[in-house]
Structure 1
Amino acid sequence: MSLKNKLMHELHSETVVKASSKISIVGVGQVGMACAVSILHQHLTDELALVDKMADKLKGEALDLLHGSLFLKSRISADTDYLVTEDSKLCIITAGVRQLEGDMKNNQLERNVAIYKDIIPQVVKQSPAAVLLIVTHPVDIMTYVAWKLSGFPKHRVIGTGTNLDTARFRFLLGTKLQINPISVHAYIIGEQGDESVAVWSSANVAGVNLEQLDEKLAKEEGSQIHKKVMQSCRDVIKLKGYTSWGIGLSVASIVNAILKNLRTIHLVSTNAKDEHEIKVDVFLSLPCVLGTTGVCGILRQPLHETEAEKLKQSVDNLLKTQHGLLRSEC
């Protein structure tokens, strides 16, 4: 008789019950694991599945988490086989290569597109009803690639976009004003990165529009803070070699909104066709209402003429990259 049988009288065999809020993460590098830990600490899922092609790294990360499972409320599984992701409600893709120093951005993009051609079909096969959340950089283009490869409706393919940039913007603005950033409402839209658009025209604290207090000062302050937002990522990379916790917490906030159907607003990369006079399929960040089905709605955000022009430049930049991808496929 086994130790288990000596311990208890088993009345019936275990019934397999599918997880109701299963999340899968593809890629267990620093970013993937920061997402995993942030999600687990907030108890957002009853099952977390990890996938990576590096078997030893994957096993090590999974074991490390399992050893702490006494302190968690989620089942954890891991495998190099995508079958482990079956029936996920949400699939988070962090896999990809970093842009190396001296490397061309297009080289990074081409390598990541090749990786996605392997990943996305396997994820879709196992979880055809899932919402895809793309973290891989360059995030707007990679979200577009995931959308094309998956065949999913556009509301179920989302990129992390400027969600973290917006958090940094509010943090820096709150620090400047000596106000908790939770009470600061200011947003960054458009293409993620240096060409993003800080929407200063609607920035406010408790409904008090900052631009109306002092238009010239507000624009100068806003421009400086936006530059600091763009630099802050590079500062973290210079100091510790990579970014992880900020994006991990940002992903967890998006996951929370989707799985709990909160219908809260997040600055995520979405298909912006028919928004702000955009006539083409292009993914960039706009204020989106998130719920169980992914993007439930996009706010009709008023923009000043200069902000609208900068957003148009984001569209042009992304289209140029998309067209380059199409040419490389020919």
Structure 2
Amino acid sequence: MEKHIRKVAIIGTGLVGSSAAYSIVNQGICDELLMVDINKERAIGESLDLSHCIDFTSSRTTVHAATYKDLGDVDVVIITAGPPPKPGQTRLDTLGIGAKIMEDMIPKIMASGFNGIFLIASNPVDIITYHVWKLSGLPRTRVIGTGTSLDSSRLKTILSNMLNVDPRSIYGYTMGEHGDSQFAVWSHITVGGKPFLQILEERKEELGHIDLDQIVEDVKKVGFEILKRKGTTYYGIGNALAFILKSIFNDDHKIIALSCVLDGEYGESDICTGVPAIITREGIKDIVELRLTEEEQEKFRKSNAVLRDYMASIGYGQKIATVV
């Protein structure tokens, strides 16, 4: 009987990569997990440590260190390599170093014969995802960034605490840049199917103090609050990577806010930005085009203008005047 081995590689075995690996192993998402890092000893150490989890999990995942040459038959390559922002920096400020890392890495991966899906968490994730797409030559549907998936989760967590409901009963997204210019799509956020804005209207006496703009600011800044206290974030994004990977292998057709290369959707082209998309075994099946309000459409345009300005710094398009 022929058996397909679900094979995944993680490039970058720092805190994000190792956290993603830990989630993947514990959930039994793949059969074989390859750990790749410029620090080969670190990759070996993480592989050994992770392999000692298997006796305590429900399924077996083989974990071992690897090199770029070993990636030819991998289904999904997860990229987490890159520098975290330093105090006072934004994610966008890490672009120069991150872009150079991809320029060295992606040709080596493609030379192995790799023809699967790239799943990218390296920041600034929207521009790095676009850069990987250009460097790899793969279809846009198979180069995917984590986008605003984590931001959307953070938004749901904040709302769940305010409303005292499970965050998994809240549906909605932030869109645009995974960064300071993102925005919440309030017109499409629901709680158990009921519009959140309607809930606010009906419960003014109880919820009238809620400031929507402040909630968005809290979503934007919480990553830096974590960074300030413990150096960087890794559990949330690690689990987000595992969640997206599981949806790919299960062919879930789940809708997740991801960094996607747009080609006319939302009136935008030749840019990678956070939008809800249907994820399948083949990558992005479709981008969900929400009917945004005029205000939301303008916020989306401004967020993409910010991304384009930084894209120009590594040779894509032209720098434009950004109004935020």
For normalisation by structure 2, the TM-score amounts to 0.90
1:158 correspondence with 2:144: yes
Alignment match, 1:249: 239
In the TM superposition, residue 253 of structure 1 has moved relative to its aligned partner by: 0.7
Given the alignment, which residue of 83, 100, 122 partners 1:97? 83
In the TM superposition, residue 125 of structure 1 has moved relative to its aligned partner by: 2.6
1:27-76 CA-to-partner distances (Å, cap 9, x unmatched) read 00000000100111110000000101112212211121223333341111
Alignment match, 2:261: 271
1:111 correspondence with 2:97: yes
Mapped contact 2:149–2:240 kept (Cα < 8 A): yes
1:78 correspondence with 2:65: yes
In the TM superposition, residue 106 of structure 1 has moved relative to its aligned partner by: 6.3
Alignment match, 1:9: none
1:44 correspondence with 2:29: yes
Alignment match, 2:277: 288
1:322 correspondence with 2:311: yes
1:66 correspondence with 2:46: no
Alignment match, 1:298: 287
Farther-moved stretch of structure 1 (102-111 vs 258-267) = 102-111
Take 1:27 and 1:229, find their aligned partners in 2: how far apart are those partners? 26
Mapped contact 2:92–2:124 kept (Cα < 8 A): no
1:303-326 CA-to-partner distances (Å, cap 9, x unmatched) read 111100000011111111112211
Farther-moved stretch of structure 1 (148-157 vs 66-75) = 66-75
Take 1:18 and 1:214, find their aligned partners in 2: how far apart are those partners? 52
Given the alignment, which residue of 108, 120, 126 partners 1:140? 126
Take 2:285 and 2:181, find their aligned partners in 1: how far apart are those partners? 26
Mapped contact 1:135–1:160 kept (Cα < 8 A): yes
Alignment match, 2:11: 26
Please give the secondary structure, in 2, of the residue aligned with 1:253: helix
Take 1:260 and 1:205, find their aligned partners in 2: how far apart are those partners? 26
Mapped contact 1:91–1:123 kept (Cα < 8 A): no
Pairing of 1:308-319 with structure 2 (within 5 A)? 308-319=297-308
Alignment match, 1:129: 115
Take 1:277 and 1:320, find their aligned partners in 2: how far apart are those partners? 18
Please give the secondary structure, in 1, of the residue aligned with 2:263: coil
Take 1:33 and 1:229, find their aligned partners in 2: how far apart are those partners? 24
In the TM superposition, residue 194 of structure 1 has moved relative to its aligned partner by: 1.2
Query: In percent, how many aligned pairs have the same letter?
Result: 35
Change (3 A) 1:327 1:147: closer
Q: 5+ residue gaps in structure 1?
A: 1-16
Paired amino acid for 2:13: V
Aligned residues: 310
Mapped contact 2:145–2:259 kept (Cα < 8 A): yes
Mapped contact 1:19–1:46 kept (Cα < 8 A): no
Mapped contact 1:190–1:284 kept (Cα < 8 A): yes
RMSD of equivalent CA atoms: 2.1
1:262 correspondence with 2:252: yes
Please give the secondary structure, in 1, of the residue aligned with 2:265: coil
Given the alignment, which residue of 226, 234, 256 partners 2:216? 226
1:180-204 CA-to-partner distances (Å, cap 9, x unmatched) read 1111112101111111010001111
Alignment match, 1:8: none
Q: 5+ residue gaps in structure 2?
A: 318-324
1:2-39 CA-to-partner distances (Å, cap 9, x unmatched) read xxxxxxxxxxxxxxx98521000000000000010011
1:88 correspondence with 2:85: no
Change (3 A) 1:52 1:18: farther
For normalisation by structure 1, the TM-score amounts to 0.88
